[in-house]
């Protein structure tokens, strides 16, 4: 045993046992796979944290790749970490939605498996078709090669230093959103769910799933939207996300996404997987939002996405989110709808699942739902809940919320051949669609006059002396049609709530915000004011660090 192994053996918390699997090849590049708690005896130096390649965030831990050298230094510093080894080289990693002993043993029939926390296990296998070989009640997430996330840690006993918005959206005034909400049709939602069910199965490896995708392509196209197939492969098969786009008028580079997976699964997936609730209900809501919102104009772009291969491991959303991050797309928010039509009690609420960085979005959804639906909601902040298409967007650093009838599915028809339309509550489905529409409309902002500036910039100058260290923000913007003056709004957290910082409307196109704490981060938006004093929507947000 070399020195690194001796240190790790002495210091690491190796509480989880190695699975009995066929002999595995140890990695030859000195890279280890490890679980490391977010709460530690001390916070590691920035250089050590930067040396960790995040594979998955959990509520209380990180799953990372790191070198033997970094692992040794962490252990020497008194950090607790769990090394998973030997991990076969070239195999694929799945996060699986259970850590029950019986489920972990079932996973070990297809690869190496370790429980990670109370709700998830890690599966390492060379079988891309693992979905077909594990119990139907388990949910898979194919892990990304690398996340666009930096691991953060805190010392036990200290609260996480994270500002949280109380309300993230100023609901636009006027009749626009209530009018849109009133156009949501229960009959249209019903027709879509029944049509999706008629394909018998939408299991992503089957031709009937491709046929369902083609039907959705035609349905979005009939609404006059720009529609494209987002093709990708998984487990030796090919399929496609269906993406419909409504371009924004003021800042089209700012994007709001609403999506749902259209593939299905059951205990007999190749023959019968009607998937009415999971997830014909979510897909129908997305199509209905496209029908209603596509008639109007918004400041920001809206993308309506039907994801495929969710049931195989979130492959469609993983492909979409990674491509978006690689292209530098400015996705402001993602609303993912998954299982939104079954009620085990009345009144039923909608669970809003977010990670800590997306909590503002759950607040925004709850505000819009309360104002326009109405729909009771329950916010659940849990980074370990990765069982649906919101999770790959978390991986890429985007804010995302999963709207689901119950975080722990109470539908007895879940992943069964009898998940049919007859089991659904369409009043609840309609309420969810209305609340989701109100949320997306509020985030994308119905186009009004005077429109906000299309471009806002913020530069900073730091002043340091023996007695003072402060910074000054120089905010500037382009002229906006219909604007007689402007207001500048500021918030210490992204997406607000914002506070106006100028006393009177500004006639020019610059503003100086002086003597702020040098280490603070602020977020600015600008609004236009017309000659009658009417104030329009917020501009795209700009950060000053």
Q: Is residue 162 part of a domain?
A: no
- Tokens representing 243? 């993406």
314 and 218, same domain (yes or no): yes
Q: Is residue 22 part of a domain?
A: yes
335 and 428, same domain (yes or no): yes
User: Quick one: which H or E segment has residue 8?
Assistant: helix 3-11
CATH classification of the domain holding 465: 2.60.40.10
Mention every residue, 6+ apart, whose C-beta is less than 8 A from residue 41: 78, 79, 80, 155, 156
d(Cα 179, Cα 503) in Å, to the nearest integer? 34
374 and 265, same domain (yes or no): yes
What's the whole-model pTM score?
A: 0.91
Which residue, of 155, 187, 203, is where some domain finishes?
A: 155
Peptide bond into 450 cis (omega under 30): yes
Mention every residue, 6+ apart, whose C-beta is less than 8 A from residue 305: 230, 241, 242, 243, 244, 257, 258, 259, 260, 286, 320
Residue 469: what pLDDT?
78
Residue 230: what pLDDT?
98
Q: Is residue 534 part of a domain?
A: yes
191 and 289, same domain (yes or no): yes
Instruction: Please say whether the beta carbons of 403 and 352 come within 8 A.
Output: yes
238 and 363, same domain (yes or no): yes
Provide block-wise average pLDDT over 10 residues at a time, the chain (545 residues).
Answer: 37 34 42 91 84 91 91 87 77 92 94 93 90 91 82 71 45 80 98 98 98 98 98 95 98 98 97 98 98 97 98 97 96 98 94 95 94 93 96 96 94 96 98 97 95 94 76 95 96 90 96 86 95 95 90
54 and 141, same domain (yes or no): yes
440 and 464, same domain (yes or no): no
CA distances from 400 to 47, 48, 63, 361 (A): 29, 28, 20, 7
Q: Which of 211, 393, 227 is nearest to 319 (CA)?
A: 393
Residue 482: what pLDDT?
95
Q: Is residue 208 part of a domain?
A: yes
117 and 34, same domain (yes or no): yes
Residue 168: what pLDDT?
46
264 and 315, same domain (yes or no): yes
Which residue, of 393, 410, 444, is where some domain finishes?
A: 444
Q: Is residue 70 part of a domain?
A: yes
Residue 25: what pLDDT?
34
Torsion region of 415: left, alpha or beta (phi above 0 gives left; psi -120 to 50 gives alpha): left
Instruction: Please say whether the beta carbons of 494 and 523 come within 8 A.
Output: yes
- Tokens representing 97? 């939605």
Quote the domain boundaries for residue 478: 456-544
399 and 485, same domain (yes or no): no
119 and 231, same domain (yes or no): no
Query: For the chain, give me the number of helices (H) and strands (E)?
Result: 12, 25
Which residue, of 155, 189, 220, is where some domain finishes?
A: 155
Q: Is residue 163 part of a domain?
A: no
Q: List own/partner pairs for 8-12 with CB under 8 A and 24 or more apart.
A: 8/71, 8/72, 8/75, 8/81, 8/83, 10/75, 11/75, 11/76, 11/78, 11/79, 11/80, 12/75, 12/80, 12/81, 12/82, 12/83
d(Cα 487, Cα 509) in Å, to the nearest integer? 10
For residue 356, give the DSSP letter: G
Burial of 467 (0-12, 13-18, 19+ CB in 10 A): exposed
Total number of domains in the chain: 3
Q: Is residue 278 part of a domain?
A: yes
DSSP letter string, 496-508:
---EE--SS-BSS
Q: Is residue 170 part of a domain?
A: no
24 and 111, same domain (yes or no): yes
């Amino acid at each position: 045993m070399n020195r690194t192994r001796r240190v790790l053996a002495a210091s690491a918390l190796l509480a989880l046992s190695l699975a009995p699997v066929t002999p595995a090849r140890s990695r030859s590049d000195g890279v280890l796979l490890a679980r490391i708690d977010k709460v530690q005896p001390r916070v590691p130096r920035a250089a050590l944290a930067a040396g960790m390649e995040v594979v998955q965030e959990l509520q209380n831990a990180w799953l990372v790749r790191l070198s033997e050298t970094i692992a040794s230094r962490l252990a020497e510093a008194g950090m607790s970490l769990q090394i998973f080894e030997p991990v076969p080289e070239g195999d694929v990693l799945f996060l699986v939605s259970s850590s029950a002993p019986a489920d972990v043993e079932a996973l070990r029939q297809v690869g190496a498996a370790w429980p990670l926390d109370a709700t998830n296990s890690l599966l390492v296998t060379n079988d891309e078709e693992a979905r077909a070989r594990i119990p139907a009640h388990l949910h898979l997430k194919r892990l990304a090669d690398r996340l666009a996330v930096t691991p953060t840690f805190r010392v036990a006993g200290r609260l996480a230093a994270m500002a949280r918005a109380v309300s993230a959206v100023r609901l636009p005034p006027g009749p626009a959103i209530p009018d849109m909400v009133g156009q949501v049709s229960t009959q249209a939602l019903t027709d879509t769910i029944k049509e999706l069910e008629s394909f018998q199965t939408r299991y992503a490896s089957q031709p009937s799933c491709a046929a369902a995708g083609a039907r959705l392509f035609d349905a979005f196209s009939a609404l006059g939207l720009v529609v494209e197939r987002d093709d990708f492969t998984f487990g030796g098969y090919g399929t496609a996300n269906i993406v419909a786009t409504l371009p924004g008028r003021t800042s089209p580079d700012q994007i709001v996404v609403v999506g749902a997976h259209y593939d299905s699964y059951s205990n007999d997936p190749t023959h019968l997987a009607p998937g009415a609730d999971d997830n014909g209900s979510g897909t129908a809501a997305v199509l209905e939002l496209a029908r209603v919102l596509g008639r109007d104009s918004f400041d920001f772009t809206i993308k309506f996405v039907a994801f495929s291969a969710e049931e195989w491991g979130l492959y469609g959303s993983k492909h979409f989110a990674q491509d978006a991050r690689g292209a530098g797309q400015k996705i402001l928010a993602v609303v993912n709808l998954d299982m939104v039509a079954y009620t085990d009690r009345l009144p039923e609420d909608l669970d809003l699942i977010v990670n800590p960085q997306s909590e503002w979005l759950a607040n925004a959804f709850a505000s819009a739902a309360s104002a326009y639906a109405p729909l009771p909601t329950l916010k659940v902040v849990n980074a370990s809940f990765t069982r649906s298409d919101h999770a790959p967007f978390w991986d890429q650093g985007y804010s995302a919320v999963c709207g689901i009838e119950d975080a722990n599915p109470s539908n007895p028809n879940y992943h069964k051949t009898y998940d049919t339309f007859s089991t659904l509550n369409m009043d609840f489905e309609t309420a969810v669609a209305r609340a989701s529409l109100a949320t997306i409309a509020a985030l994308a902002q119905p186009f009004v006059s005077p429109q906000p500036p299309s471009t806002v910039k913020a530069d900073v100058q730091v002043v340091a002396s023996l007695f003072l260290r402060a910074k000054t923000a120089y905010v500037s913007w382009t002229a906006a049609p219909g604007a007689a003056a402007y207001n500048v709004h500021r918030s210490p957290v992204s997406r607000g709530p914002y506070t106006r910082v100028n006393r009177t409307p500004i006639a020019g196109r610059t503003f100086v915000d002086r003597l702020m704490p040098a280490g603070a981060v602020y977020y600015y938006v600008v609004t236009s004011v017309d000659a009658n004093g009417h104030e329009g929507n917020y501009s795209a947000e700009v950060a000053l660090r």
